[in-house]
């Protein structure tokens, strides 16, 4: 059994439920703002899940190399290592406002210090990822197959005029790496995020290491006062497990859920942003825009709920040439052309036909304007040239779909 905390307040207890499920019970005095999820408001009766963990508790469980590192480190001592064990290991330092500890433990979010400037200047032959993985694996409650860890650099946090450097102890940055199967993935994401910036989308601050081995991203769930915002991805909002992240449609699993859970003013304000992100994913040929790569954020589950900033944006066809969309549109995962996107935008009442066309033009301009940067980086860093060439071809194809000849 482990204890769940919301924004530093005890919320309830999470435990296994035979034969293969789990159960969560709120503390009797838990207030409404202690809700662990928009989908799980406080109540006296327990929230029971027949198999595994509820999506909100599973949301930040590490995957890939990070999960394997933790399994090897803890399975022998524990005798077994299931999702609840993993949550107990990484739960006191993870994305969003939820934290987890042993039932008899207090909440200690302290993460070791690591200079972000040193990461950005490090050379790849120094095996930086292994060093950071060994040091920060247990402080890295975040999902995704791409190798990544969370670190604390309170120097940059204080330099931005945020919080009290002396007292802040939580993670401030996400550091992403790449492995041989997906070379130059950090640079790939960097230039995709540059295109997102040019579209006018909200993007957290991000920097690429000098040799392209790592991408450092400021946590967008970190408030200026050092508190953390709630974050829920669309697997949670659709009550689906991580294994079902590719199961769903833009019509229902994204748009219907967004309008169901977002605040009314945020629906009006953010619908254009969500459509812009959808169109940009298509233009960049991002076939990994699944349910976990869209989210909503909030400070209070009973307050304003809005669209999360952009994250996990890459050109997947640079590695998988025949890749298609992760979610369906009109029942198909094939890449849509401008006409299909225009029709989608109009039927969802995102704006007038002229306004939808303007959004698509803005996306096309953003991608076009980023291509010279992509080419320049490839010239300066020959190791990136092959992936950059594949990305450029993919972007050209995406642009043709937005502006057919």
Residue pointed to by tokens 């330099």: 159
Decide which of 193, 218, 243 is a domain's last residue.
218
In this prediction, residue 161 carries a pLDDT of 56
Considering the domain architecture, whether residues 238 and 337 belong to the same structural domain is answered as yes
| 241 and 120 belong to one structural domain | no
Domain boundary pick from 102, 124, 149: 102
Q: What is the pLDDT of residue 167?
A: 58
The two three-digit tokens of residue 127, written as one number? 């095996």
143 neighbors 292 (Cβ within 8 angstroms): yes
Evaluate the CA torsion angle 87, 93, 98, 99 in order and state its sign.
Answer: positive
Please report the pLDDT score of residue 146 as a whole number: 85
* Residue 224 domain flag: no
Report yes or no on 223 lying in a domain: no
Instruction: Looking at the structure, tell me whether residues 142 and 178 fall in a common domain.
Output: yes
In a domain, 109, yes or no: no
Binned at pLDDT 50, 70 and 90, residue 165 comes out as low
pTM of the model: 0.94
Q: Are 166 and 257 found together in one domain?
A: no
Domain end residue (candidates: 102, 129, 146): 102
What pLDDT shows up at residue 144?
A: 86
263 lies in the same domain as 365: yes
The CATH number linked to 323 is 1.10.1070
**Banded model confidence at residue 320, pLDDT cuts 50, 70, 90:** very high
Residue 172 in contact with residue 165, Cβ under 8 Å? Answer: no
Residues 194 and 97 in one domain: no
* 74 pLDDT more than 70: yes
Q: Over 80: is that where the pLDDT of 405 sits?
A: no
Q: CA-to-CA distance for 227 and 354, rounded, in angstroms?
A: 41
Whether pLDDT at 260 is above 60: yes
pLDDT reported for residue 218: 95
pLDDT at 61 over 80: yes
CA dihedral of 244, 250, 255, 257, whole degrees rounded to 10: -10
243 and 375 assigned to the same domain: yes
Which pLDDT does position 148 carry in this prediction? 92
Give the pLDDT band (50/70/90) at residue 261: very high
pLDDT digits (tens, 9 = 90+) for 173-215: 999 998 888 999 999 999 999 999 999 999 999 999 988 889 9
pLDDT score, position 159: 56
Q: How many CA atoms lie within 13 A of 280 on its CB side?
A: 30
Q: How many domains does the chain have?
A: 3
214-243: per-residue pLDDT in tens? 999 999 999 988 899 999 999 999 999 999
Do 172 and 192 have their domain in common? yes
Residue 165 in any domain: the answer is yes
Judge if 241 and 362 occupy the same domain. yes
For the record, the structure tokens of 238 come out as: 């659709």
| Residue 46 pLDDT class (50, 70, 90 cuts) | very high
- Could you tell me if 305 and 157 lie in one domain? no
Which residue range is the domain that position 34 belongs to? 2-102
Q: Would residue 74 count as lying in a domain?
A: yes
What is the per-residue pLDDT for 160?
54
391 has pLDDT over 90 = yes
Does the residue 39 lie in any domain?
A: yes
SS (H, E, C) 123-136: CHHHCHHHHHHHHH
Quickly state the pLDDT bin for 109 (edges 50, 70, 90).
confident
> 230-268: b or e for each residue (b if 16 or more CB lie within 10 Å)?
bbbbbbbbbebbbebbbbbbbbebbbebbeebbeeebbe
Q: Are residues 75 and 175 in the same domain?
A: no
Q: Is residue 202 part of a domain?
A: yes
Claim to verify: residue 90 and residue 122 sit in the same structural domain: no
In a domain, 111, yes or no: no
Does the bond joining 220 to the residue before it have cis omega, within 30 degrees of 0? no
């Amino acid at each position: 059994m482990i204890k769940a905390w919301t924004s530093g307040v005890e919320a309830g207890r999470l435990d296994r439920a035979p034969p293969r499920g789990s159960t969560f019970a709120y503390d009797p005095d838990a207030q409404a703002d202690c809700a662990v999820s928009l989908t799980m408001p406080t109540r006296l009766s327990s929230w029971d899940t027949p198999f595994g963990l509820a999506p909100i508790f599973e949301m930040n469980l590490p995957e890939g190399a990070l999960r394997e590192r933790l399994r090897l480190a803890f399975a022998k001592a524990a005798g077994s290592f299931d999702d609840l064990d993993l949550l107990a290991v990484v739960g006191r330092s993870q994305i969003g406002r939820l934290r987890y500890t042993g039932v008899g433990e207090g909440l200690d979010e302290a993460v070791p210090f690591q200079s972000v400037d040193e990461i950005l200047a490090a050379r790849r032959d120094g095996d930086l990822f292994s060093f950071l993985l060994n040091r920060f694996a247990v402080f890295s409650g975040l999902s995704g197959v791409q190798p990544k860890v969370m670190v604390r650099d309170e120097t940059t946090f204080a330099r931005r005029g945020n919080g009290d450097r002396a007292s802040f102890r939580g993670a401030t940055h996400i550091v992403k790496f790449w492995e041989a199967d997906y070379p130059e993935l950090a640079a790939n994401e960097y230039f995709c995020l540059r295109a997102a910036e040019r579209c006018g989308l909200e993007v957290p601050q991000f920097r690429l290491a000098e040799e392209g081995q790592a991408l450092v991203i400021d946590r967008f769930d970190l408030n200026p006062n050092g508190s953390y915002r709630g974050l829920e991805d669309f697997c949670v909002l659709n009550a689906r497990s991580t294994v079902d992240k590719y199961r769903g449609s833009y019509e229902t699993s994204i748009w219907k859920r967004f309008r169901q859970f977002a605040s009314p003013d945020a629906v009006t304000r953010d619908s254009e942003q969500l459509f812009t992100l959808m169109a940009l994913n298509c233009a960049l040929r991002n076939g990994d825009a699944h349910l976990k790569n869209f989210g909503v954020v909030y400070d209070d589950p009973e307050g304003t709920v809005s669209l999360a900033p952009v994250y996990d944006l890459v050109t997947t066809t640079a590695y998988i040439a025949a890749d298609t969309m992760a979610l369906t549109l009109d029942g198909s995962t094939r890449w849509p052309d401008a006409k299909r996107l225009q029709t989608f935008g109009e039927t969802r009442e995102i704006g007038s036909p002229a306004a939808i066309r303007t959004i698509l033009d803005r996306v096309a301009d953003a991608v076009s304007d980023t291509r010279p940067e992509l080419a320049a980086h490839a010239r300066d860093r020959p190791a990136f040239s092959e992936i950059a060439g594949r990305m450029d071809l993919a972007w050209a194809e995406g642009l043709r779909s937005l502006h057919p000849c």
